[in-house]
Structure 1
Amino acid sequence: MKDINAFLKEVKQHPYIIIGGTIVIVAILMSLLAPFLTSFNPTNVDAKNRLLSPSITHPMGTDQYGRDIMSRVLFGTRSSIEVGVSVVLLTTILGGIAGIAAGYFPKLDNVIMRVLDGFMAFPGIIIAICLAAIWGAGKLNIILALSFAYFPKMARIVRSCVMTVKESDCVESARSVGAKNMYIIFKYILLNSLSPIIVQATFSFAMAILDEAALSFLGVGITPPNPSLGGMITDARDFMAVAPWGIFFPGFMIIVIVLGLNLLGDGLRDVLDPRLQGKY
């Protein structure tokens, strides 16, 4: 890892990190402050005010049930971010354990990697859809389904880092003085593998938000009437000709958040990867 001061200096100068980080921070703040940014309950039905166009009272209009779209977008964003953070944490833990075990212990490598190869033979979204269909809709089930779909890629990245770091001089020196395996793993292996893990985590975050919206769109995501960006698009598609704002605003929020996370991930990759120095 780089010196922390040098790292922070490069982060402040990198346009992708500044733009992407700003977008992500604003989205998180909007989701956290959702109860204070709108006076409407996202699940309250008001049939008298259905399909209203954007106005001062309803800045993003209302849906076919008269629910305020702005409040649903804000609370839906909160749900998406909660899913994304949870998936990243579980993916990093599961992928880290599997990757370290495969990369550091040669006897386990072949067994673990063949199992992970079986997982990666299918697109992650297909695995997530199958697991969500088996376990049922709901936020917890979506988090578990997406985590199982994503962790093989994280495991392969961690394994690659471990196999490189474990042959370094510092690890050989630690072994020569009798250091235990767990000490070497936590002291040297993990610390020198953080850069690619952090970058992959940002991309996993973006994919989790995108796939959660896709699962909700298909009806196996967050259960209604709880707001979900993908579910809002599903509900509004039958009325897109007369009320296009019902699709535009949740879709635009998904695009902006995923764009911000991808920019942040690209920027962190540029800063943390020494092979890319001076190319931005």
Structure 2
Amino acid sequence: MSFLTIFAPVITEFSPLENNSRNRLQSPSLTHYMGTDEFGRDIFARVLYGARNSIQVGISVVFLTIIFGGIVGIIAGYYSKLDNVIMRILDGLMAFPGIIIAISLAAIWGGGKYNIIIALSFSYFPKMARIVRSSILSIKDLEYIESAKAIGASNSRIIFRHILKNSISPIMVQASFNFARAILDEAALSFLGVGIMPPNPSLGGMISDARSFLSVAPWIITFPGIFIVIIVLSFNLIGDGLRDLLDPHLQNNY
């Protein structure tokens, strides 16, 4: 799937933005593998470029979530005096579903890829922060951490050299799930009209636009939906695999 999106300009000769009224609502054929939409645009090209936009959003959201969630989680887990204050703030944010927060922020800031990335990152980082905090709490009182403190190691060295290095496993697992969730939520936001703005291709936006033509041209909605299912399922399976591989408690059960 990633290969198709990366090499989309090579795989298809059609532009995802080019209108052609003569070819509107054509069924799948050897020329247009997935047919055309109401404006005569090639659906295969739009699906590839729309998936590329979704993957870019997912990667950016995961990157920002790890950075901000990691920083907040490190501060809360390592510095006990700040833990209670930070966690109460995170609890307040997590009281609302992430998609509701993202929709609200997107409605305030407006649509567009970069606003969606920031909105989704803000809605995801509290859970990442809690995971990082939990991992640090389970590590920071171990003997080798106490030994590092005894020989005069600085807090930054202890955090980045010892604690964070041994917290990578839960962070990577959560990041893979966040990637799949970001793609699904980006599609939902675009479906609601507050995501990636037309005419730029978006899988959720394509599904939203196709509702009016469902009875006469079902392929318009079918192929974007299939791509969303494949992408989300793939990264959920990757997350499950990483969890099974990196979690020693699960390994001991086999």
Flag whether TM exceeds 0.5 (same fold): yes
- After superposition, give the CA deviation of every residue in 1:108-159 in whole Å (9 maximum; x if it has no partner): 1111111111110000000000000000000000000000000000000000
Distance in 2 (CA, whole Å) between partners of 1:83 and 1:77 is: 10
Distance 1:209 1:82 in 2: 9
RMSD (CA atoms)? 0.8
Equivalent position of 2:107 in the other structure: 133
Which residue is equivalent to 1:188?
162
Secondary structure in structure 2 of the residue aligned to 1:175: helix
* Residues 1:214 and 2:188 are matched in the alignment: yes
Task: Give 1:28 shift.
Answer: 1.3
Match of 1:201 in 2: 175
Q: Report percent identity of matched pairs.
A: 67
Deviation at 1:266, TM superposition (A): 0.2
Provide runs of 4+ in structure 1 moved above 6 Å.
none
1:205-242 alpha-carbon deviations (Å, 9 max, x no partner) = 00000000000000000010000000000111110101
1:142 to 100, 106, 116: 116
User: Structure 1, residues 31-78: CA drift from partner, whole Å, max 9, x if none?
Assistant: 110000100000011111100000000000000110000000000000
Is the aligned partner of 1:174 residue 2:148?
yes
Q: 1:31 is matched by which residue type in structure 2?
A: T
Alignment of 1:77-96 (within 5 A): 77-96=51-70
Q: Secondary structure at the match of 1:190?
A: helix
Instruction: Indicate whether 1:107 and 2:87 are aligned.
Output: no
For 2:208, the equivalent position in structure 1 comes to 234
Q: Which amino acid aligns with 2:238?
A: L
Q: 1:248 to 1:110 in 2, by over 3 A?
A: same
**Structure 1 counterpart of 2:242, one-letter code:** L
TM-score relative to the length of structure 2: 0.99
What is the aligned partner in structure 1 of residue 239 from structure 2?
265
**Equivalenced residues, count:** 254
Q: Paired residue for 2:49, among 75, 86, 98?
A: 75
1 CA distance for matches of 2:59 and 2:241?
19
User: Higher relative contact order by CA 8 Å / sep ≥ 6: 1 or 2?
Assistant: 1
Name the TM-score, length of structure 1 as normaliser.
0.90
CA distance in 2 between counterparts of 1:109 and 1:279 reads: 33
